[in-house]
Structure 1
Amino acid sequence: MATSTFQLSRDSFGALVLTTDDGLLHHGVSPVRAFPIQSPSQGISLVLHDGKEVAWIDDLADLPPPIRALLQEELDGREFMPEISHIASVSSYATPCTWFVKTDRGDTEFVLKDEGDIRRIGDASLLVADNHGIHFLVRNMFTIDKHSRKILDRFL
């Protein structure tokens, strides 16, 4: 379905409602990113609770501002992936250990259970999972500051 052939709104419960150009209503649609790390604004699928796709969005930037704002708000509420901008310190270079980091959502600390909880995504990105299953993103391990890079190198 072309991105210009639908309307998006919220119902009285706050769920997204997609209205197709032929007037068909789909209640409770959810946006799902095809490439959440490499291309977060491109390739968005709108799916029903059973996983059936009812619309595809090539690029969020192509949508009218009100629809784009609704989708961005929904995505922000569903996805929680703080981006690490600096690794201040680690309690130990043996796991489990506590990491003290600065993120785009503030300073925090988390426990890394195992080196296997650091996964490479593409050439430069890393996903770091804490002991509670929260994923932290290192967008580019080659451009992060020298101190943080030195710590990362010890675990990779």
Structure 2
Amino acid sequence: MTTHDFKLSHNAFGRLVYTAANGEVHEGVVPVRAFPIGAPDDGLSLVSADGHELSWISRLSDLPDATRVIVEKELASREFMPEIKRIQRVSSYTAPSIWYVETNRGDASFTLKGEEDIRRIVATSLLIADSHGVQFLIRDTQALDKASRKILDRFL
């Protein structure tokens, strides 16, 4: 099935509705990125409420504008991964510690339970899980300012 063989809409309850070319309707559809960090716009699946893939989208940009906007809004509402732009300070260089950071969504603070909650994704990307399970992303450690890298190095 090509990416243009379906329609997406929302029902009265705000749930995503997928209508296939043959008229088959699925409610509660969820878009899922195959590579949310490394290639967020490449490889996306529309999955039914019971977990079956309904459609594969090779590139988000392949979708018609109206459908792409619906998918992007749906992804934004279910994906919450603030990106750390700067580490302002930490309460301690031993865990647990409170981190004060500047993110793409504003300033934030979180508790790092242990160094094991910092995971390397690729050579220069990290995921940091706070004590509540929120994932913070550092897309490129080399893009951080010198003071932020110095703090981060003490935990790696």
Alignment TM-score > 0.5, same fold: yes
2:21 matched to which residue of 1?
21
2:88 matched to which residue of 1?
88
Unpaired runs of 5+ in structure 1?
none
1:12 matched to which residue of 2?
12
Matched residue count: 156
1:111 matched to which residue of 2?
111
Distance 1:48 1:6 in 2: 13
2:61 matched to which residue of 1?
61
Root-mean-square deviation (CA, aligned residues, Å) is 0.7
Q: Secondary structure at the match of 1:142?
A: helix
TM-score, normalising length: structure 1: 0.98
Matching residue's letter, 2:86: H
- Residue identity (%): 56
Deviation at 1:4, TM superposition (A): 1.3
Large movers: runs of 4+ above 3 Å: none
Unpaired runs of 5+ in structure 2?
none
CA deviation vs aligned residue, 1:86-142 (integer Å, no higher than 9, x gap): 000001100000000000000011000000000000111000000000000000011
1:155 matched to which residue of 2?
155
1:133 matched to which residue of 2?
133
CA deviation vs aligned residue, 1:8-49 (integer Å, no higher than 9, x gap): 111111111111111111111000110000111111111112
